[in-house]
Amino acid sequence: MSRTTRLSSSLLRAAACTGIAALTLTACGSGSGSGSASSGSGEIKVGLITKTDTNPFFVKMKEGAEKAAKAEGVKLMTAAGKFDGDNAGQVTAVENMVASGVKGILITPSDSKAIVPAIEKAKAKGVLVIALDTPTEPESAVDALFATDNLKAGELIGEYAKAAMKGKPAKIATLDLAPGVSVGVQRHNGFLKGFGVKDGDPSVVCSQDTGGDQAKGQTAMENCLQKEPDINVVYTINEPAALGAYTALKAKGREKDVLIVSVDGGCTGTQAVKDGKIAATSQQYPLKMASEGVKAVVTYAKDGKKASGYTDTGVTLITDKAQDGVTSKDTAYGLENCWG
C-alpha cells in the first residue's frame, strides 16, 4: 500500500466527515435564527440551560424563552445536559455561554449543589445568573429564582385528597422522584402536610422512587399493590408517574376506587384529569418562568438593574371534582393554560 493512496484516502475521509458536518449544520442552522451570521457587539444575548432537551417541561420552557426573546429583540442561546443529573454538561454550557458573551444565564440546575462553583465563576465575569424551576443550594448562589412553590403544589393536592377521602381511613402510596432532589422532597413533604400526616405515619404504606418516569411509575405501583393491596390514595411526583400508576391499578381493576393526585399540569396530564384517570393535579407554569427570566436579563442589560430574590410563578389546583374548602379550577381552564 503506497503512501499516496494512504494519504488520499485519509483526505477523502476527512473531507467526507467535514462535508457532512457542514451540511448538517447548514440544515439545522436555519432553524436556529441567524445560522452563521456573527453577532454584532450591540446584540444582547441570553443563555438558557435546561436539565435535558428531551423533557416536554423544558421544551416548553425553551419555547417561552424564545417567544420572550423575540418580543424583546434579543438573541437566545440554549443548551442542556445529556441526562437529568448531568452536572458536567451544564458546567460546560455555562463556560461556553460566558465565552460567547451572554448578558445573563437562565438555568434549571441538574444538581443544586454541584453547579454552584460554575455559577460563581460566571457571576464573577459580570453575568447575571437566574435559576428557573429548581433552586440552587445555597439559594443565594444565584441572583434570582423564578420557580413554582413546590411545597405549596404538594400542599394543594394533599388538602384535596384529605377532603376527597371524607374521613375514610387512608392507605397512601407515595411515588417519589429520587433521593435528595429538592423538587421531589418539597412536593412529597407538601402533600403530607396538606393531608395532615407526618412522614413515617402508618397511613403511608408504601414509598418508591420513580424518577418521574412512566414505566418506573408503573413498576413502583405494581410493587406497592403487591405489598399493600388496599391502597386507596396515590400521591405522584408528576403526571407520567401518575399515568404509570393508573396503568398498574387498571390491570388490577382498582382504577375506579383509588384516588390519584399529581403535580405538573402538562397537557397530557391535564387531559388525564379530564378523562378521570387522575383526580387532581397542581398545575405549574414553565413558560412564565422562562419569559420572566428573559425579561430580567434584558432589564439588567439595559439599565444594570439586577433581579433578586424569589419570584413565585404560581400554581393552580386543576380538577373536575371540586371539593368544599379547597380552591380549584376545572380542566377547561387547565387545558387552556397547560404546557407540553
Enumerate residues 6+ apart whose C-beta is below 8 A from 237.
175, 176, 177, 184, 187, 188, 210, 212, 262, 263
For residue 212, the minimal CB distance to another protein (Å) is 15
Contact pick of 70, 71, 95, 140 for another protein (by CB under 8 A): 95
- Residue-wise DSSP of 204-251: EEEEEE-TT-HHHHHHHHHHHHHH-TT--EEEESSHHHHHHHHHHHHH
Binding of another protein by 113 (CB under 8 A): yes
Binding of another protein by 140 (CB under 8 A): no
**Which one, of 202, 217, 275, 279, lies nearest residue 248 by Cα?**
217
CA atoms within 13 A on the CB side of 101: 9
Max CA pair span of the chain:
87
Binding of another protein by 299 (CB under 8 A): no
**CA 127/CA 248 separation, integer angstroms:** 48
Window of 92-100, 169-177, 189-197, 306-314 that interacts with another protein by CB under 8 A: 92-100
Contact pick of 97, 156, 261, 338 for another protein (by CB under 8 A): 97
Q: Which is nearer to another protein, 98 or 206 (CB)?
A: 98
Host H or E run for residue 302: helix 286-303
Q: What cell does 116 get?
A: 454552584
Binding of another protein by 86 (CB under 8 A): yes
Contact pick of 68, 74, 76, 147 for another protein (by CB under 8 A): 76
Binding of another protein by 12 (CB under 8 A): yes
For residue 121, the minimal CB distance to another protein (Å) is 10
Peptide bond connecting 56 to the previous residue in cis, omega within 30 degrees of 0: no
Binding of another protein by 271 (CB under 8 A): no
For residue 227, the minimal CB distance to another protein (Å) is 22
Window of 110-118, 122-130, 184-192, 290-298 that interacts with another protein by CB under 8 A: 110-118
**Which one, of 95, 106, 150, 96, lies nearest residue 128 by Cα?**
106
Query: Can you give the binding site for another protein, defined by CB under 8 A?
Result: 1, 5-7, 9-18, 20-22, 24-25, 28-29, 32-36, 38-39, 45, 53-54, 75-80, 82-83, 85-88, 91-93, 95-97, 99-101, 110-114, 116-118, 178-180
